[in-house]
């Protein structure tokens, strides 16, 4: 009690006022520091475009198109124009003063990092290796476990393994999702494999396509219901065994014939827990090959990633493929896009595009926006007629092969590793905007850019024709020239290249780095 009987100690009042004054001074200092912070590291994390995929501008330096685009640059910053809503209340967000009061504080930084982690949880940029035939790759699950370490050195972030379950071809009565086929191993070997994969900080995705040895993934229309019901309980079993995701082929069939069952399947995998660390991924596989079809299935199926025949389509030309990529990028978040050539049923990359085209298509898959998925052996140009266990993803060439073939495999592996390393460290390649620069069916040539805020840009140029081609790849978001990073033909890395006249030899591809200019 104070002397005046008020119950308030004047010393306490004085101390409180001093503390408040100190807090006000500290807040002013923080606000001044935040003015600087907002223009530095945090600004670099902001995407160059708004929305989900954020389509890039089309081709050949059309300044008028760029001027009308919502994306513009000035003094090293990125301005995004958000169209006003025609109806309803407008959300104006935080004012600059409100933002400055919180931006840069430890809590704000932690929140932004958490949101960034949640956003990219959709597996964006995850380099996936698919091992559909375990026996051909390593004889059994134990053999596969022994190859996990060399697989991790290829910068793989996820392995898609299997199917492994018992499923006699076209025999739904013999289907047993919960039992591993004895010719590849047993449950304990599977558990050891999953642990080994996780120890190398990779994700393990199990392919549970029901009728993987037969003609139709879900046997027939009349069996979809019973098979889907069996799958539901099997999903619970395998998710408890530690798998990080599930892959299913023929998703369009079960999603259309049994929408309620498909919703249950999705819920079991995707909504397993509110804990971020235990979120699972659902990967779909379809034989659809057009952009609109793939886009529609992405919307209707709700899978996290969708592998399709878009890049394998024999009916589409270069321009149509480029338009399909642009459509998917514009309509969907990059975290939903996956790119593949080859697979368990389609064969290896080398057999599909020819040995000479392996490195060109490696560059294509690594530089498209989304997740690249490679079949085992694609990194060395493995051909389908080779089935011995020595011809695997392990980065070593069998000494029994002819010298020329060993050298070609080593060359393919070198390009694969270089691209994997580059993609891992370059934001533009990992999650940058996609800028379609050139697509010409008559000359079988394609070029696009990848750009992420104030980081180096990259330009990928391809020529599938039998003669050389010259492309004008000028674009307002790119500088006038770049340096060669990687080429499948002659040309020393570091060579300066004018983007107004990019020369690409027949059957070759180039990757060009364009330094960011403020």
Residues 6+ apart with CB under 8 A from 249: 207, 209, 212, 217, 284, 285, 286
Mean pLDDT confidence for 460-470: 95
| 242/50 Cα distance (integer angstroms) | 36
Q: Which helix (H) or strand (E) holds 255?
A: helix 251-257
- Give the rounded percent of residues in the chain with a pLDDT score beyond 70: 71
Mean pLDDT confidence for 453-457: 93
pLDDT band, very low/low/confident/very high, at 271 (cuts 50, 70, 90) = confident
Question: Among 311, 312, 416, 411, which Cα is nearest to 362's?
Answer: 416
Supply the pLDDT for residue 495.
Answer: 93
Which SS3 state, helix, strand or coil, does residue 175 take?
coil
List of long-range contacts for 497-502, beta carbons under 8 Å, 24+ apart = 499/459, 499/472, 499/473, 499/474, 499/475, 500/472, 500/473, 500/474, 501/470, 501/471, 501/472, 502/447, 502/459, 502/461, 502/470, 502/471, 502/472, 502/473
In this structure, of 56-70, 204-218, 414-428, the range with the lowest mean pLDDT score is 56-70
Supply the pLDDT for residue 345.
Answer: 78
Supply the pLDDT for residue 151.
Answer: 93
pLDDT band, very low/low/confident/very high, at 28 (cuts 50, 70, 90) = low
- pLDDT digits 0-9 by tens, 63-119: 333 333 333 333 333 333 333 333 343 334 444 444 444 444 544 444 434 443 443
pTM over 0.95: no
- For residue 10, is pLDDT > 60? no
| 509/465 Cα distance (integer angstroms) | 11
| 357/411 Cα distance (integer angstroms) | 12
């Amino acid at each position: 009690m104070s002397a005046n009987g008020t119950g308030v100690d004047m010393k306490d009042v004085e101390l409180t006022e001093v503390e408040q004054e100190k807090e006000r001074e500290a807040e002013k200092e923080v606000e001044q520091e935040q003015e600087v912070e907002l223009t530095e590291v945090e600004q670099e994390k902001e995407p160059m475009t708004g929305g989900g995929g954020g389509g890039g501008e089309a081709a050949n330096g059309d300044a008028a198109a760029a001027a009308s685009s919502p994306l513009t640059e000035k003094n090293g910053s990125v301005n995004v124009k958000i169209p006003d809503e025609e109806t309803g209340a407008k959300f104006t967000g935080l004012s600059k003063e409100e933002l400055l009061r919180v931006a840069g504080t430890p809590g704000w930084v932690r929140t932004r990092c958490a949101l960034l982690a949640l956003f990219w949880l959709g597996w964006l940029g995850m380099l996936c290796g698919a091992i559909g035939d375990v026996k051909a790759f390593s004889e059994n699950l134990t053999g596969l476990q022994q190859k996990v370490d060399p697989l991790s050195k290829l910068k793989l972030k996820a392995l898609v393994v299997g199917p492994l379950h018992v499923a006699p071809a076209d025999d739904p009565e013999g289907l047993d999702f919960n039992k591993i086929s004895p010719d590849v191993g047993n449950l304990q070997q599977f558990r050891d494999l999953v642990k080994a994969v996780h120890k190398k900080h990779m994700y393990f995705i199990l392919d549970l396509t029901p009728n993987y040895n037969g003609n139709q993934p879900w046997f027939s229309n009349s069996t979809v219901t019973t098979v889907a019901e069996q799958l539901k309980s099997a999903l619970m079993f395998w998710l408890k065994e530690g798998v990080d995701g599930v892959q299913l082929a023929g998703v369009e069939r079960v999603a259309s014939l049994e929408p309620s069952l498909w919703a249950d399947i999705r819920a079991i995998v995707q909504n397993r827990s509110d804990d971020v660390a235990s979120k699972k991924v659902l990967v779909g596989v379809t034989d659809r090959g057009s952009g609109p079809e793939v886009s529609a299935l992405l919307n209707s199926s709700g899978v996290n990633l969708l592998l399709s025949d878009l890049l394998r389509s024999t009916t589409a030309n270069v321009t149509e493929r480029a338009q399909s990529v642009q459509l998917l990028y514009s309509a969907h978040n990059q975290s939903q896009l996956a790119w593949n050539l080859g697979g368990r049923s389609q064969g290896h990359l080398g057999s599909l595009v020819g040995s000479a085209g392996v490195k060109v298509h490696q560059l294509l898959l690594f530089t498209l926006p989304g997740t690249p998925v490679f079949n085992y052996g694609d990194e060395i140009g493995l051909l389908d007629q080779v089935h011995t266990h020595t011809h695997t993803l392990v980065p070593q060439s069998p000494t029994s092969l002819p010298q020329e073939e060993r050298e070609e495999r080593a060359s393919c592996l070198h390009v694969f590793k270089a691209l994997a390393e580059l993609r891992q460290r370059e934001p533009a390649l990992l999650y940058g905007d996609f800028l379609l620069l050139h697509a010409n069916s008559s000359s079988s040539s394609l070029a696009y850019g990848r750009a992420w805020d104030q980081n180096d840009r990259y330009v990928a140029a391809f020529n599938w024709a039998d003669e050389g081609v010259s492309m004008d790849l000028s674009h307002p978001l790119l500088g006038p020239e770049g340096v060669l990073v990687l080429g499948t033909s002659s040309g020393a890395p570091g060579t300066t290249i004018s983007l107004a006249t990019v020369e690409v030899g027949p059957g070759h591809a180039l990757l060009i780095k364009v330094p960011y200019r403020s």
